[in-house]
Amino acid sequence: MDLTGRTALVTGASQGIGRACALKLAQRGAKVALVARNQQKLEEVAQQIAASGDGAAGSSDRAQVFVADMGDENQIKSTFKNAVAQFGKIDILVNNAGITRDQLIMRMKRADWDAVLNTNLTSAYLCTQQAIGSMLKQRWGRIINITSVFGQMGQAGQANYASSKAGLIGLTMAVAREVGSRNITCNAVAPGFIETAMTAGLPEELKQNAMKMIPLGRVGTTEEVANCVAFLASEEAAYITGHVLNVNGGLLMG
């Protein structure tokens, strides 16, 4: 799964799944545009990527930091403009940025609904729209949306989050149909319970109950998700599009 010569842009790349994806894609040879709100954490990821190479390949041009709020359309457009200016193209887009604002539906504030939908779903639409021109021009591209098992099965107290992640699945399939003839694939990866800062904040009772429902008997790692993203970004996955790849230890099957 050699990605040498490819350029990837990863949103939410400062931590968790996004960070793991950025590191894995760089390990496979891709140059990576790192996008998130936390510049310090992004710089740490960029330094790790630079240090992982050798000679010229280990120089800072392997990864560049772009600080942006994925809930802001103007910042998204500016980020892609700067990334293309820096790298010349975008071959691989990983829409990973996501937030939670959990609350029961009867108590959920409109602002929390809007914030989650804007960051988790609308940003993926905007990022795809910005990246697609480069991909169409070169007649090659990989779009990978990070959805969630809760976008497939729902979750009490997460109507906004589940809706945003379910929306990503619909977006994935629609885009896959639109651009398939141009040798561009669009797929989704649906993690289950993964060890991240986001899942660390979930109630302990919820986590324990979830563990009982996972046939593999454990939570997943960010690297296990990143391995799937790297595969879908590669030539080996050229005939896969509009697919939702479950990475959930068997929590949801079928």
User: What's residue 60's pLDDT?
Assistant: 60
Residue 52: band (very low, low, confident or very high) from pLDDT cuts 50, 70, 90:
confident
DSSP class per residue in the chain: ---TT-EEEEETTTSHHHHHHHHHHHHTT-EEEEEES-HHHHHHHHHHHHHHS-GGGGSGGGEEEEE--TT-HHHHHHHHHHHHHHHS---EEEE-------B-TTT--HHHHHHHHIIIIIHHHHHHHHHHHHHHHHT-EEEEEE--THHHH--TTBHHHHHHHHHHHHHHHHHHHHHGGGTEEEEEEEE-SB-SHHHHTS-HHHHHHHHHH-TT-S-B-HHHHHHHHHHHTSGGGTT--S-EEEESTTSS--
Pick 147 or 207 by higher pLDDT. 147
Which has the closest alpha carbon to 5: 31, 40, 43, 35? 31
Q: Decide if 1 is inside a domain.
A: no
Q: Decide if 86 is inside a domain.
A: yes
pLDDT in tens, 110-147: 999 999 999 999 999 999 999 999 999 999 999 999 99
Q: Decide if 17 is inside a domain.
A: yes
Choice among 66, 113, 161, 231 that is catalytic: 161
Q: Decide if 214 is inside a domain.
A: yes
User: What's residue 203's pLDDT?
Assistant: 79
Residue 171: band (very low, low, confident or very high) from pLDDT cuts 50, 70, 90:
very high
**Domain extent for 107:** 7-246
User: What's residue 56's pLDDT?
Assistant: 43
Q: Decide if 115 is inside a domain.
A: yes
Distance CA 179, CA 189 (A): 19
Residue 58: band (very low, low, confident or very high) from pLDDT cuts 50, 70, 90:
very low
pTM over 0.75: yes
User: What's residue 166's pLDDT?
Assistant: 98
pLDDT above 70 as % of the chain: 97
Distance CA 167, CA 17 (A): 19
Distance CA 120, CA 31 (A): 24
Residue 28, Cβ neighbours under 10 Å: how many?
Answer: 17
Q: How many domains does the chain have?
A: 1
For range 227-253, the mean pLDDT: 97
For range 70-74, the mean pLDDT: 96
User: What's residue 57's pLDDT?
Assistant: 45
Distance CA 134, CA 207 (A): 41
Q: Decide if 55 is inside a domain.
A: yes
239 given a catalytic annotation: no
pLDDT above 90 as % of the chain: 87
User: What's residue 55's pLDDT?
Assistant: 40
Q: Decide if 252 is inside a domain.
A: no
Any idea how long the chain is?
Answer: 254
Q: Decide if 126 is inside a domain.
A: yes
CATH number reported for the structural domain that contains residue 100 in this entry? 3.40.50.720
